[in-house]
Amino acid sequence: MNIPFTRHTLDNGLDVLLHEDHACPIVAVNIWYHVGSKNEQPGRTGFAHLFEHLMFEGSQHHDHGFFQPLQGAGATLNGSTNADRTNYWEVVPTGALELALWMESDRMGYLLPALTEAKFTNQRDVVLNERRQNYENRPYGLAPMALLAALFAPDHPYHWTTIGDIADLQAAQLDEVRAFFRRYYHPANASIALAGDIDPVQALALVDRYFGEIEPGEPVAKIHVDASLPRDVRIYFEDRVELPRLYLAWITPAMFAEGDADLDLATDLLANGKTSRLYRRLVFDERLATDVSASQNSREMMGYAQITATAAPGHTLAELERVIFEEIARLAAEGPTDEEIDRGRVQAEAQFMFRLQTVGGFGGKSDQLNAYNTFLEDPAYFPKDLQRYQVCTKASLQAVVNRYLDPSRRVTLSIVPHGRATLAAPDSVMAAVS
C-alpha cells in the first residue's frame, strides 16, 4: 500500500497534504478541524454539530448559501461531525479548485462577521428538528443517548451525543457560539488535503494564497479523560416500538490502540453477516431474534463495543442475553477458527480498499490522509493501518474478548414497547433519557 503524498505546514499552522492523481480531471478538497462533541462542556453541548450547519450559511465575502456556487461549477460537497472531529469536503472539476479553496478559506477565516442572530436561531431550530427526526421520533432512536450516558460519567466528554441536549441547544447564546468558533476553527487546529488532478507546487501556492493570511489561533491541547465501568449497569426505557430490543456495550481501546483491530474482527465474526455466530444461532437456527449486529466503535480517547439484537415475537430479551454470552464465552475459551480469521482479514482488507477507490468524499484518499494526520500525525499510516488486521491471531482475539467483553462490566439496555416494562432484561431499572 503506497499512497504518495507530500506534507507541508503553513506559517499559521495549517497542515497541507497533497496527493497527485491524474486518472480523472477532478480534485478533492478535504478539510478536517480537530474538534468534535468531546470538546464541549456539560451544559454547553451540541456546538460542534451546530457549526456543521452554520458553516454552510455564508461568510463575510460570500454571505449566501455555500452549496449553489460549487454545485453550479459541477461539484459535490458535504460535511460531518462526530465526537472527535469535524470535516468538510468538495469534489470539484479541476478548473473549479480555486473556487473551492476561496470559499473554504473564507468560512475558516471570515465566518463570524456574517454570523447573525437570525442565522444562529434558524440553524439551531434546524438542529432541534433534526434531533426530533433522527432520535426522538425514530423507533429505538434514543438508544445511543442512553448507552453513552450509562457508559461514561456525566462530566466525561463522551457522555453526550454529537447532536447535543435539547436544553443546552435552547439555552445557547450567540456570544458563546462565537467563542467556540474562535477557539477551534482556525488553521492551527486544522488540516487540508487536496487529492486528484493537481500539480503539487501550484496547489500548495494556491492553498498558501487563500489560507496563509488567516490568523493561526491558539493551539488546542489534546484531551484525554479515563473511563471505566466497574459493574453491570442494567437499564431500560419504553418507546413506541413493536418488539423489545437488547443492547450490550463495553468500554474498549481507542482507535488505532492495541486491541482495537482485534475487537473489530471479533465483533464481526460474532454478529455481522449471515455467517456470523450470533446470526446463525439467534436468527437462523433458534429463531429467537429478528436481527443481530455488533461493532467496535473506535474513538480518539477510547472506544466502545456494542451488540444489538431484536427479540422475535414470543421470545424474551433474557433468552437473547443468555445466548449472546454463551457465544462470547465460547469465543473466549476456544478462540476463532482459522476460517473465521481469514474471512475477517479479507473483509477488513476489502473495506480498506473500498475506501480508497476515490480521491474524495467520506473515506476517500483525501479523507484518509486527513484522518491519519489528525489523529496520529502520520498521513503515511495506510500500510500500518492495514497491517493491524493482518497480524491478528487466534490468541490475540481470545485475549481481547476475555479482557474487554466481560459480562460483569457492561451496560445492558432494554428498549420495550410502552406499557410492557416486564419485557426488559431481568433486574433492569428505568433510565431517564430524552
Longest Cα pair distance anywhere in the chain, in angstroms? 67
Confidence tier at 2 by pLDDT (50, 70, 90):
confident
pLDDT at position 432 is 86
Confidence tier at 129 by pLDDT (50, 70, 90):
very high
Nearest Cα to 28, choosing from 37, 36, 20? 20
**What is the residue whose three cell numbers read 434531533?**
131
- Going from the C-alpha of 153 to that of each of 164, 224, 225, the distances in angstroms are 16, 14, 11
AA identity, residue 42: P
On average, the pLDDT of the chain sits at 96
Sketch out the chain's domains with CATH numbers.
Answer: 6-211 (3.30.830.10), 233-430 (3.30.830.10)
Q: Is the pLDDT of residue 434 over 80?
A: no
pLDDT at position 127 is 96
- Exposed e or buried b per residue across 231-265, where buried means at least 16 C-beta atoms within 10 angstroms of its C-beta: eebbbbbbbebebbbbbbbbbbbbbbeebbbbbbb
**Which whole number is the average pLDDT over 24-49?**
97
Q: Is the pLDDT of residue 42 over 80?
A: yes
Positive or negative, the CA dihedral 39, 40, 46, 48 is: negative
pLDDT at position 31 is 98
pLDDT at position 415 is 98
**What is the residue whose three cell numbers read 453477516?**
273
pLDDT at position 433 is 84
**Which whole number is the average pLDDT over 307-325?**
98
Regarding beta strands 190-196 and 289-297, do their DSSP bridges make them parallel or antiparallel, or are they unpaired?
A: unpaired
pLDDT at position 24 is 95
Positive or negative, the CA dihedral 330, 334, 338, 344 is: positive
Q: Specify burial of residue 274 (Cβ count, 10 A radius: 0-12, 13-18, 19+).
A: exposed
Do 115 and 178 touch, CB atoms closer than 8 A? Answer: yes
CB atoms within 10 A of CB 375: 19
**Residues 356-404: tens digit of each pLDDT:** 889 999 999 999 999 999 999 999 999 999 999 999 999 999 999 999 9
**Which whole number is the average pLDDT over 177-189?**
97
Regarding beta strands 233-239 and 429-430, do their DSSP bridges make them parallel or antiparallel, or are they unpaired?
A: parallel
pLDDT at position 355 is 85
Using only the alpha carbons of the chain, give its radius of gyration.
23
Measure the CA–CA gap between 73 and 197, rounded to whole angstroms. Answer: 16
**Residues 5-33: tens digit of each pLDDT:** 999 999 999 999 999 999 999 999 999 99
AA identity, residue 104: E
Positive or negative, the CA dihedral 223, 225, 226, 228 is: negative
**Which whole number is the average pLDDT over 277-282?**
97
Q: Is the pLDDT of residue 240 over 90?
A: yes
Calculate the dihedral angle through the C-alpha atoms of 204, 209, 215, 221, rounding to the nearest 10 degrees. -10
**What is the residue whose three cell numbers read 470538546?**
39
- Going from the C-alpha of 267 to that of each of 72, 248, 279, 297, 421, the distances in angstroms are 43, 12, 12, 10, 29
- Between 356 and 148, the more confident residue is 148
pLDDT at position 302 is 97
Contacts of 287 (CB under 8 A, 6+ apart): 312, 315
Confidence tier at 330 by pLDDT (50, 70, 90):
very high
pLDDT at position 139 is 95
**Residues 201-217: tens digit of each pLDDT:** 999 999 999 999 999 99
Beta bridge partners of 16: 8, 192
**Which whole number is the average pLDDT over 143-148?**
97
% of the chain beyond a pLDDT of 90 = 95
